[in-house]
Amino acid sequence: MEARAIKRYIGSSPRKMRLVVDLVRGKNVEEANSILQYSKKHAAKVVEATLNSAYSNLVNKLDAGRVSKNEVKVKGAYVNEGPRMKRILPAPQGRAYRIQKRSAHLTLVVEEIK
């Protein structure tokens, strides 16, 4: 059985989020939590909260009740690009530079190991 959690409109660029998500893909939930807890990246906090949400969704979905975090692995983890906020930065000689503030959508899928 599998469950998923989706976090949208994260204020970090998808490229920076993928560096963190690649660390936990394929690992069990307990190991992934320990990796994320000691990561220095800002995106690790968001990924850790979403991972815990996906695990809770799986526990709520199962009829048997509680399942250990060692018995659940991260089946899929991917980051898609969200909408961009376009801003303008004043530049010399009356020009204006465009700044794009990117956002990301994170999806985590966890499954029970048989």
Give 2-54 pLDDT, tens digit per residue.
999 999 999 999 999 999 999 999 999 999 999 999 999 999 999 999 999 99
Task: Give me the pLDDT at residue 66, please.
Answer: 83
57 burial level (CB within 10 Å; 0-12, 13-18, 19+): middle
Domain 2-112, CATH:
3.90.470.10
Q: Which helix (H) or strand (E) holds 60?
A: helix 43-61
pLDDT tens, residue by residue, 49-72: 999 999 999 999 988 778 999 999
0.95 surpassed by pTM: no
8 A C-beta contact, residue 41 and residue 17: no
